[in-house]
Chains A and B, each alone.
Chain A
Amino acid sequence: MHIGISHRRFRAVIFIFLFFFVLCILRLLYIQLFKSSYLSHIASQQHNLYIELEPLRGAIYDRNLKPLAVNLPSDSLYASSRQFKNKEKVILQLVDALGLDYSYLKGRIYRNKAFVWLVRKLSWEQAEKIRQLKIEGLGFIRESKRSYPNKNLAAQTIGFAGLDNVGLEGLELYYNEYLKGTSGWTVMLRDAKQNKLLSQNLLLPKDGSELILTIDEFIQFVAERELERVYKIFKAKGASVIILNPKTGEILAMANRPTYDPNHPQVSNVDFRRNRALCDMFEPGSVFKIVAASAALEEGRFNESDRFFCENGSYRVANHILHDHHAHGWLTFAQVFSESSNIGTTKIAQGLGPDIIYRYAASFGFGRQSGLDMPGEISGVLKEPKDWSKTTIGAVPIGHEVGVTALQLACAISSIANDGILMRPSIVKAIQDTQGEIIKEYKPEEVRRVISSKTAKRIKDILVLATEEGTGKLARVSDFKVAGKTGTAQKIEPDGSYSHSRYIASFIGFAPAEQPLVAVVVTVDEPRPYYFGGVVAAPVFKRIVQDVVKYLKLQRNNDAISEIAKKTR
């Protein structure tokens, strides 16, 4: 009986143990089979961290592979304000170190959050200053900041990228899809203190492609230097310079004033960021006379020796009196343009008729966009002959009642330098990947033949005459002949009348005249006290082509020497 009771107790204990054992097994089965995905998801969230890997934005280089826009590692400052013992002290220290607004910092720090941005993308010096303060609760996150080592050089052309490395203006905006790259990701193991440890899965980011521009850094510098000079001396409202290679249409320099530093776009005036060479339309004045001259010679209606009576400076066209700056009597065809006689030009235009003038103006590219791969280009204004009034024949040929951009003028004068062929302007030479492999290459593109080669030569001679004996004497260079045309256009007042105090001075030309290497357009908006194109803009042209032509010839010689050296090794 005693043994029977022991057996019963033994069985009872075994049964209880088995019961709880089975419960544990069932519980384990339940966790493993039914709850496993849920629980492993929670564990994964706790232990793993998904991080997006930011790609490096593609750099921008000039035609000689000198960097114009690069990426710089930069610290962004954040605050975990719950960790601050004395918030007021922290705010005062930061105001002192960074020069930030007290109320801004107060608003941020008193939010009482675990993470609050204070300043994005500090400079290294600023970050060092903050680190030395050793304030607990402040932290840094390393980010990539877009930087421009040349500061305001070609600022409007290159544009800038914002805080999140997205292009906002200029080429940074237009080619953003190429430059931005593709993000990657990684899943990292992290510990209880949120330290990142091991990367478990990884997709590397694809860095952005790089742009190689047609801009030459040195030529751009020369253009900017001369533009700054004329802008300051004549207290102008604005100014632009474009330098083109007439054979290829490549833009070697494009400068504007006023300008800004794209490293600090937030402190710049929005107006300063405008690319005036593309976005500003103006009545060109006498520089537009190349259209009438080209049309007259190409159509064979006139030749250089034909004489025109310039009415001693006053001529009625319908109900409007046209004036010349200087009273002229009889002038030859060539002298009409070299002396820039409005009356002589109008008489030639009257001989041609509105249709021909319009056709050649359109053929030179006026009244439409050039197709340049940059944002913000406008088409200008060119009225069709059906919209011309009786006075328009006395206005359009001399550059009034027509709206043009500096780029359109540059393309037009380039076509004359290029034996009558209009080339499409280009600013990007090639796009390459980070290994230097070319993804896309932009070749020079011929748009159309505007005038014959023979006519182009004749116009060249007239333009040389303009600089030798005409209104463009201050554009003359001692080492070689230059060809060009001055322009002095009255601006329009708000009441619609032409101003007698506000002008646009311009000069368009190319050099050397015999074998043009560059075509240059200089426009100065509201220069004071002088406003004539021949006085304000022509000297800028001279100083630019003096240096640029020498530089280009030197480059060619260096290339030739390198070739010879390679062959003789």
Chain B
Amino acid sequence: MKLKYFIICLMALTILSLVYAWQQTEIIKLAYLENNKDKVCKELLDRNQYLRYNLLSQQSALNLGNKFLDGADNFEIPQQSQMLSLPLPIDRPQGYLQDGFRPTQKAGIKLKRQETFLVSIAKLQNALPLLIVRSFINKQAQAQDINR
């Protein structure tokens, strides 16, 4: 009887150890996957930022002014009577920026939450079984894809 229990315990321990080792390798594999996706994501974001910067440069006062006024020395702002002012159809909320380099206040809070979440994921990986962590990671990746 005692031998039987001993063998059962030994087998259970062995299986658990194997599961643990498998879990760690899965984590590393996921890390590689995440690494690759992260690289692609960062590359796209950086490219996006570079293109936005190009837009900024193009629509800057210096660029527009030099292009439109090239040689036109006598250009003047028109008189008030020559202009018609209309109110904007949409009220921009406070803190909104049109340059696209920064998120709005609400989006900023969202990003902050996402960053806090990512930190929690890193900690969770050490504590929880892989399956639960994996589902968290997948959901977060999806959310980031949608937002960006």
Spell out A's residues near B (CB within 8 Å): 59, 65-67, 70, 72-73, 124, 142, 147, 149-153, 189, 191, 195-202, 204, 217-218, 220-221, 224-225, 229, 434-436, 479, 546-547, 550-551, 553-554, 557-558, 561-562, 564-566
Contact = CB atoms under 8 A, between A and B. Distances in A.
Given A65-B99, A196-B35, 16 more contacts: A59-B102, A66-B99, A67-B101, A70-B101, A124-B50, A150-B60, A151-B63, A197-B31, A221-B65, A225-B69, A434-B102, A435-B112, A436-B105, A436-B108, A551-B77, A553-B80
Contact of B80 (A67, A200, A218, A550): A550
B87 A562 contact: yes
A197 B56 contact: no
Contact of A153 (B53, B61, B102, B112): B61
Interface string B57-86: 100111101000100010011111001011
Nearest to B126: A200
Contact of A434 (B61, B86, B108, B126): B108
Contacts of A151: 57, 60, 62-63
A557 B85 contact: yes
B85 A558 contact: yes
Contacts of A202: 118-119, 122
B46 A73 contact: yes
18 contacts: A149-B53, A150-B57, A151-B60, A197-B28, A197-B32, A198-B27, A217-B60, A217-B61, A221-B65, A225-B65, A225-B69, A436-B94, A436-B108, A554-B77, A554-B83, A554-B85, A561-B86, A566-B91
Contacts of B115: 204
Given A198-B122, A553-B80, A561 B31 contact: no
B1 interface: no
The 9 nearest A-B residue pairs measured at CB: A565-B87, A436-B95, A73-B46, A197-B31, A221-B61, A149-B56, A149-B57, A550-B77, A150-B60
Interface of B: 27-28, 31-32, 35, 42, 46, 49-50, 53, 56-57, 60-63, 65, 69, 73, 76-80, 83, 85-88, 91, 94-95, 97-99, 101-102, 105, 108-109, 112, 115, 118-119, 122, 125-126
A153 B62 contact: yes
A197 B98 CA distance: 36
A411 B118 CA distance: 52
A557 B80 contact: yes
Contact of B31 (A59, A189, A435, A562): A189
Nearest to A200: B122
A83 to B, nearest CB: 21
B115 to A, nearest CB: 6
B111 to A, nearest CB: 10
A142 B42 contact: yes
B57 A546 contact: no
A204 B101 CA distance: 19
A554 B126 CA distance: 61
Where chain A touches its partner, the secondary structure class is mixed
Contact of A70 (B56, B65, B87, B112): B56
Contacts of B95: 435-436
A199 B97 CA distance: 32
Contact of B61 (A124, A195, A220): A220
A224 B62 CA distance: 9
Contacts of A142: 42, 46
Contact of A199 (B50, B76, B108, B122): B122
Nearest to A151: B62
Contact of A435 (B63, B101, B109): B109
Contacts of B105: 435-436
Contacts of B118: 202
A553 B57 CA distance: 27
A558 B88 CA distance: 10
Nearest to A549: B77
A67 B61 CA distance: 11
Contacts of B109: 435
Q: Which of A73, A124, A553, A554 has the most CB of B within 10 A?
A: A73
Nearest to B46: A73
A276 B65 CA distance: 24
A561 B85 contact: yes
A195 B28 CA distance: 11
A66 B60 CA distance: 9
A566 B92 CA distance: 11
Contact of B49 (A65, A72, A153, A224): A72
Contacts of A564: 87
A142 B45 CA distance: 12
Contact of A150 (B31, B62, B79): B62
A59 B35 contact: no
B61 A150 contact: yes
B125 A67 contact: no
Contacts of A229: 73
Contact of A72 (B53, B77, B83, B119): B53
B140 to A, nearest CB: 14
A230 to B, nearest CB: 12
Nearest to B102: A434
A434 B57 CA distance: 22
Contacts of B76: 546-547, 550
Q: Which of A198, A200, A561 has the most CB of B within 10 A?
A: A198
Contacts of B80: 550, 553-554, 557
A142 B49 CA distance: 13
A435 to B, nearest CB: 5
A435 B95 CA distance: 8
Nearest to B95: A436
B53 A70 contact: yes
A197 B35 contact: yes
A131 to B, nearest CB: 12
B83 A221 contact: no
Contacts of B99: 65-67, 70
A221 B62 contact: yes
A204 to B, nearest CB: 6
Given A204-B115, A221-B65, A435-B109, A149 B77 contact: no
Q: Which of A67, A142, A200, A557 has most B Cβ within 10 Å?
A: A67
B5 to A, nearest CB: 24
Contacts of B77: 546-547, 550-551, 554
Contacts of B65: 221, 225
Contacts of B112: 435
